[in-house]
Structure 1
Amino acid sequence: MTVKARHRILFINGPNLNLLGTREPEIYGSTTLAEIEDAVKRRGAELGISVLTFQSNHEGAIVDRIHAAVAEEVDAVVINPAAYTHSSIAIRDALLGVNIPFVECHITNVHARETWRHQSYFQDKAQAIIAGLGAYGYIAALQWWAWKLNGGSLGDI
């Protein structure tokens, strides 16, 4: 069942996530980014959420997409910054500059991996962090935003 969209959520995926499904499937799984985006859009329609998606391997393109979200009246962002998690002050500043709340999302449990992956330039400003749920993490982020944007009452669960 599709519900009229009341909110807009932008899903941003950083470098190399276009390779999901083929890149190190033993770590990232066999689900492609296109499959994740399709699933999130379907679930969004059921929840009354208009889902926008974007992927880029280029930091400046991600910054530009975040800036454009203001004119599109995006209510929230779900971002998997991928390798930029540990290095991009520019993307962090863009998110803070547009004042759109965001969830940081990772397919793997970054805290169970190499030590350098534990540092995030986003973690102290994110509304929530989802890590280690595989492709389902994107659906979890969407469902949390739907709940939060609609008042966040436990009676709604």
Structure 2
Amino acid sequence: MIAPAVPRRATAAFMFSHPAHCIALGFGAGLSRIAPGTVGTLWAWLAFLALQQWLSPLYMGILIAASTVVGWWACTVAARNLGIADPGNIVWDEVVAFWLVLWLAMPMGWWGQLVAFALFRFFDAAKPGPVAWADGLFKGFGWRGGWGILWDDFVAAFCTLLVIALWRFWQ
């Protein structure tokens, strides 16, 4: 599929024009004009806390796996329709990756979750070392580009979990 010639802007009308857009934009979190990735991660945190009230850890893991596959499709479609290979308004990558962090690092108190949030945002935004490598690995439109949108956030999640694991080990 070919991307549109002129990039579009993510708006509420764009979000509601296709189910994939709604998912990729984090049900509106990606429409934030200020730091949409951070807003998407905050949305993920709140959604995780709500979902864990009803879902066992096993079902939360199944939800994360399913959300990865659905997110791959949604990010691919939304990026193509926006005409931008990796738009900042697509935040489903932050949502699924931060769910993975919380799912694997819980139980943690509020302060531990806040540290996990801050670490994840650091790795995702600053893109040090392995995250920068992952960010450049899959670029473009189509399924490869859709996976690339998710991939660097999964690497940021891994880096976050590694720091948490090392901190717990040395405690």
Shorter chain as denominator, the TM-score bin is under 0.3
User: Normalized against structure 2, the TM-score is what?
Assistant: 0.26
Which structure would you say has the larger Rg?
2
More helix by proportion, 1 or 2? 2
User: Normalized against structure 1, the TM-score is what?
Assistant: 0.28
More strand by proportion, 1 or 2? 1
